[in-house]
Amino acid sequence: MPRFPITGRRQLRLVSNQELYTLSFQAYNQFLQQNQVVNNSAQAATVKQVGSRLQAAIETYMRQKGLSEQLSGYRWEFNVVENQQVNAFCMPGGKVVVYTGILPVTQSETGLAVVMGHEIAHAIAEHGNERTSQGLLANGLLQAGSIVVDSNPSLARQIALQAAGVGTQLGMLAYGRKQESEADEIGLIMMAMAGYNPEESINFWQRMAAQNKGQEPPEFLSTHPSNQTRINDLKRLIPKTMQYYKGGKGGGSAAGAAGSRGK
């Protein structure tokens, strides 16, 4: 099992990114066809703007790390769908969806950067490949390391969507604790490099905790951190990630923030 350079740990990756992205893009397009995409609105424009800034930050970060090849095959896209679920996700290959139901919780462009940065971080860390590999293997859709889509294309697309968190109350909850922690840290770095203050992540998760009050299971029964544990972990990570942040109140560029990155 290969050790992935972004996370530094060994991850299950049984299919090539080329195959995975083909499946991912098919599943994404099917999702958009089956849901009401919000176009020509202030919400859609803001999501695309945040996405563009995060994309620039990620590409800068990966280039500085000598890992630009990891983004080969990405086809970035940022959409909003009309759905009251508190949800957002990023498919492998850079296809991002934000549900309208999460916008009252994000409240601002920076709040959106918290959510989108976290979801994109799952893709950058190849958590989608990890989970899709598990799902395809469990359902007999892998043969000699290749995806056998023709045997059950609908199921293959469903697995790809579920691997990205589609179908859960919140996309982030689809991942395990280790994956969540990795995405939290990478997401903070990405939003900071994009010129968004990572300290806002605390405010967002406090709002999320209030949203979920009385509904969250005990942490030991869950596969994801409790909101309070996540908030505590973010407080620990923020001093480290603030070195990437040069935005201040007026915002900043990914390249400028990345240029001052600590070693």
Q: Do residues 207 and 256 lie in contact, with contact meaning Cβ atoms separated by under 8 Å?
A: no
Give the residue ranges of DSSP H helices in 88-198.
103-106, 109-124, 127-138, 153-163, 177-193
User: What's the CA gap between 83 and 43, in Å, rounded?
Assistant: 13
Verdict on whether the full-model pTM lies above 0.85: no
Q: In this predicted structure, which of 104-108, 112-116, 230-234, 259-263 has the lowest mean pLDDT?
A: 259-263
pLDDT score recorded for residue 226: 72
CB proximity list for 54: less than 8 A, separation 6 or greater? 113, 116, 117, 120, 190, 191, 194
Catalytic residue among 119, 126, 130, 200: 119
pLDDT score recorded for residue 151: 65
Q: Is 69 a catalytic residue?
A: no
